[in-house]
Structure 1
Amino acid sequence: MVNFEGNIIEEQEANISLNNRSFNYADGIFETIRVINGKVMFWEDHYFRLMSSMRILRMNIPMEFSPEFLEEQILQLIEKNGLSNTPTKVKINVFRKEGGLYRPTTREVSYFIRTFELENPFYTINEEDYEVELFKDHYLTSGLLSTLKSTNKIINVLASIYAEENDYQNCLLVNEKKSVVEGINGNLFVVKGNTIKTAPLEEGCLNGITRKKLIEVIGKLDDFTLEEAAVSPFELQKADELFLTNVITGIQPITKYRKKTFENKVAKQLLAKLNASARLA
């Protein structure tokens, strides 16, 4: 079952028009959310990121789109799909209603919500080999639009294909200034000594919820200093640890980049605190 504009229907009934603007022009955004035991993790952060993204894309926000309304829509769908006691991934897609070419004839939106069962209720460390490489065939563009979870993810798609063809578990994306920005599906953190570094939003990295929560966690630690600054490719092989973050995986340690192998001590420490933060959210 899926939720299409407030109506819960069978998935096969949720047909999208060939004129759908998200399909034709990537005129859409999405939000990926983790729900545990009927509790939407970091819901306030997800909600305000969704609203902010809609404003940036000059979409009209429906009057009913309050945090309470959307949370209720999510939880009703989870219950309908028999997942109330199961860790669940929820994906919300919002897209401008069809009409027009590049210039839309309306700023009104449609939306649908889907659910996917998850294996673990809280984050765990994956200690399997996880090798990455730079993807340099195409560059992300620094700036505001790259920070959105828009449906324009063709660079991520091509980087995923490159990783598969070359037996990497992930690729690191680079912007037009040749700075390392993020992974295919998550923000990048670089650990060197007591400094933990991640790219600022101005570099074009995703405005990730887990990135935000981890920055908050690190800010409360006496042992580490957080630095939001451009990451040079030369820094990667000098790092003690590299890891990626997203709301579904939590923290994914990188074990190898070119000839350098990495440990995951800091990643494990931060993951425990991220889980604690999720429980209190």
Structure 2
Amino acid sequence: MMDTVAVNGEVRRLEELRLQDFLQSFFFGAGFFETFLVEEGAPMFLERHLARLRSSLTAHANCVHAPPPEVLTAGAVREALRRCLEADAHLGPRFTGVGKLVAGDGRLLLSFRALAPQHERTLREGCVLDEVEDRGYRRGDSSLNHKSVSYLRQYAHLGRGTVFVNEAGELCEVPNGNLFFLVRDMVVTPPLEAPCLPGVIRSVLLEQGRLGGLPVVERALTRARLEDVRGCFLTNSVSLVLAVPRLLGHVLTGSSEWAGDARGVVREYARREG
């Protein structure tokens, strides 16, 4: 994490933050976060991230102390981001990296980090998914529709090529993203009740409705139907779209082409939304 942050729009140094200002988030996981790509100083899909953050805060208003509404607007976050970048020479107005918003304890914390060293290589080579975790996800668990700071279940599997599967054998998501499968004559992504996170890039592709001439739909996919999958990619707000060249032992030669098409759609949406 970089040294410069903002708390409710006020630019601060990381070492100035006090634990007592984040007690509910730290001790009970009573908060939510959003991670987004910043390119040349511009946050990507910021309005969508803030809409999801506000939705989670509203759904848990009885147990999470939300920040003031005025700091949860796109204008306020853009201004806080701009002042952070200008205040820190290691960031600078043309910063490209990752921004993170954490909401809880009546505060909105904005922080920054560099892209992972393997970021460009992963974009080129994709991500192999060959491990299954089927003990923690249960169909209809709505807690997993929110990006809570209680993130240990996902964090413990980062970088391990894990697919979370529910008790019915349905593929749900990966620790850091949503899944899309090319199945016969459609592109399928698991429904929210699988459960999975309502990802920002996922929402873009569902709004687009078609990819490579095929419909994009929400539909459950079980491990028993993996033989029907011809391609796969995962989406998240930092890498945007990553090809999955191998899924649970199945080599998928078509993944790169479909991931490229999806990335083009996402980039076009980002350009239009500013």
Q: Structure 2-normalised TM-score?
A: 0.85
1:205-238 superposed Cα distances (whole Å, 9 cap, x missing partner): 1010011112223x15571112201221122343
Aligned equivalent of 1:64: 70
2:148 maps to what in 1? 150
- Superposed CA RMSD: 2.6
Whichever residue aligns with residue 233 of structure 1, its letter is: R
Q: Equivalent residues in 2 for 1:131-146 (5 A)?
A: 131-140=129-138, 142-146=140-144
User: Shift of the alpha carbon at 1:60?
Assistant: 4.1
Q: The residue matched to 2:156 in structure 1 has which SS?
A: helix
Aligned to 2:48: 45
Task: Report the AA paired with residue 36 of structure 2.
Answer: I
Cα gap change, 1:123/1:245 in structure 2, threshold over 3 Å: closer, same or farther?
A: farther
1:10-29 matches, cutoff 5 A: 10-17=13-20, 20-29=23-32
Task: Kindly provide the CA deviation profile for residues 151-171 of structure 1, in whole angstroms up to 9, marking residues without a partner as x.
Answer: 1222213334xxx6xxxx421
Whether the 8 Å contact between 1:142 and 1:175 is mirrored in structure 2 is no
- Distance of aligned partners of 1:141 and 1:156 in 2 relative to their CA distance in 1, 3 Å threshold: farther
Unaligned residue ranges in structure 2 (runs of 5+): none
Which residue matches 1:187?
178
Which residue identity does 2:220 align to in structure 1? A
Structure 1 unmatched ranges of 5 or more: 97-108
Alpha-carbon contact 1:140-1:173 (below 8 Å) kept: no
- The aligned length equals 261
* 1:85 alignment partner in structure 2: 94
Partner Cα distance (2:195, 2:86) in 1: 37
Within-5 A mapping of 1:1-281: 1-17=4-20, 20-58=23-61, 59-65=65-71, 66-81=73-88, 82-96=91-105, 109-118=106-115, 125-127=123-125, 130-140=128-138, 142-160=140-158, 169-217=160-208, 219-221=209-211, 223-263=213-253, 264-281=256-273
1:164-192 CA-partner distances (Å, limit 9, x unpaired)? 6xxxx421112344321101100011112
CA distance in 2 between partners of 1:60 and 1:10 (Å): 22
Pick closer, same or farther for the CA change 1:135–1:221 going to 2, 3 Å.
closer
State the AA in 2 paired with 1:229. Answer: R
